[in-house]
Amino acid sequence: MSMQDPSPQSIDLLIEAGHVVPVEPHAIVLDDHAVAVHRGEIVAVLPIAEARQRFAPTQTVSRPQSALLPGLVNAHTHNPMTLLRGIADDLPLMVWLQQHIWPVEAAVIGPEFVADGITLALAEMLRGGTTCVNENYFFPDVQAAVYRQHGFRARIGLPVIDFPTAWASSDDEYFDRAGEVHDQWRDDPLIATAFAPHAPYTVNDANFERVRMLADQLDVPIHLHLHETAQEVEQSLQQYGQRPIARLDRLGLVNDRLIAVHMTQLTESEIHLCAERGVSVVHCPESNLKLASGFCPACALERAGVNVAIGTDGVASNNDLDMFGETRTAAILAKAVAGDASGFDAFTALRAATLGGARAIGFGDRVGSIEVGKQADLICVDLSPIETQPLHHVVSQLIYATGRHQVSDVWIAGQPKLRERALVGFDLEAIVANARQWRDRISTLRTGA
């Protein structure tokens, strides 16, 4: 230290924490560290004592009993479906979709359903430490506006499916509307788009080729349900004489733009193909377990060098948006599937829930870790409750013992979204009243009353 320190630098926010878990570098915990934030960006990560000398923050938040982490990235959601929580459970995927979900959706879908479902989801996600989603639903224009209104970070899927829906009535209309939504949000700091062809069994070759061409042109990812069930693979073999991944490879889609969701049915050579081509895999363990779809070999994928992310999938098949719970399930299931308790360790699981998700959706350069130059998407987790005591190992507690109710504070791009458990900018009573109103509407529809 020099005798005359320079005068302290003005910054917006200094967060001091008992433990900072930066995720990058991998597998380290920085005790008694602070993160300095200015204009929404992380400007320094350093010991608290040093931070107090170097910075003159407008605001200081001190959390000596907490861990400070990057915000969690939910890499696969259908958040308008939060309004369908618990509507049809304990059914196999195709029965669930065709006899329950699709008929209800057909009756209620529209801008109001989408906006209200996302608002409910946003409140739930922020209270559980999620700061970014990869969204996949109809009316992406409405979704983008609601996420933006609350200052939430999202990659919004532009839907493509072979049949008419309330969003578009023909192939051309799906692509025209996709282009319009993309243009509207192309320069936004929080919102970006992706193509979201629904699944191999609902999108034909010609539409996949159009998706590939336009995704290249617009430089956006492709978000796709893939190899979700054995039945999907079987049907593809019958219809195309190829497994879905082989068919997509023939169509030129197996590359680093591809965000492949589920992937419960994989051969050794398909795992290596994904690694070689830079495909990201989104593991949605609870949805796969609940729909009895199969098991994603997360451990084998990770060891082959595939970027693995974690998603909750829609609330109608989960039934929550709890990324702490999902990450714990992912970690323990990966071990069981691999027959190896040392696989997918706590640090690896945390990375999948943060940087893995950010990389999968093309946000790896701006979020997913606590690094200088990245956006300040940060969460504080209170580790003082008895449920996470004694604190032998911070990251072990975070993955195997922490509940989402322990998230105390959340920032996105340096803006507070949750402050000591209180949501900023949400009227919780109004959200609950609105959810009840949707329950009544949907139940009237279903009983035909």
- Residue 221 to residue 101: CA distance in whole angstroms: 26
Of 74 and 207, CB closest to Zn ion: 74
Comparing CB distances to Zn ion, the nearer of 55 and 139 is 139
Which segment (101-109, 309-317, 351-359, 407-415) binds Zn ion by CB under 5 A?
309-317
Residue nearest to Zn ion (CB): 313
- Cβ distance to Zn ion smaller for residue 287 or 402: 287
Minimum Å gap between C-beta 380 and Zn ion is: 30
Shortest distance (Å) from residue 147 CB to Zn ion: 18
Stretch of 145-153, 231-239, 308-316, 357-365 contacting Zn ion, by CB under 5 A: 308-316
Candidates 135, 313, 345, 382: give the one binding Zn ion (CB under 5 A).
313
Nearer CB in complex with Zn ion: 116/313: 313
Output the smallest distance, CB 76 to Zn ion, in A.
6
Give the Cα separation of 391 and 164 in Å (integer). 54
Give the count of residues interacting with Zn ion (CB under 5 A): 1
Binding-residue pattern over the window 205 to 244 for Zn ion, x denoting contact by CB under 5 A: ----------------------------------------
List 155's β-bridge partners, or say none: 134, 192
Residue from 83, 64, 71 nearest 40 by CA: 71
Residue 35 near residue 17, CB atoms below 8 Å: yes
Region from 110-118, 313-321, 394-402, 425-433 binding Zn ion, contact rule CB under 5 A = 313-321
> How far apart are CB 140 and Zn ion at their closest, in Å?
15
Nearer to Zn ion, 19 or 85 (CB): 85
Shortest spacing between CB 189 and Zn ion, in angstroms: 27
Interface segment toward Zn ion; rule CB under 5 A; list 32-40, 229-237, 312-320, 352-360: 312-320
Judged by CB, which is closer to Zn ion: 77, or 397? 77
Going residue by residue from 263 to 302, which x/- string records binding to Zn ion, judged by CB under 5 A? ----------------------------------------
CB of 74 to Zn ion, least distance (A): 11
Shortest distance, position 383 Cβ to Zn ion, whole Å: 32
| Least distance in angstroms from the C-beta of 198 to Zn ion | 9
Tally of residues, the chain: 449
- Region from 3-11, 58-66, 305-313, 332-340 binding Zn ion, contact rule CB under 5 A: 305-313
Residues found near Zn ion in the complex (CB under 5 A): 313
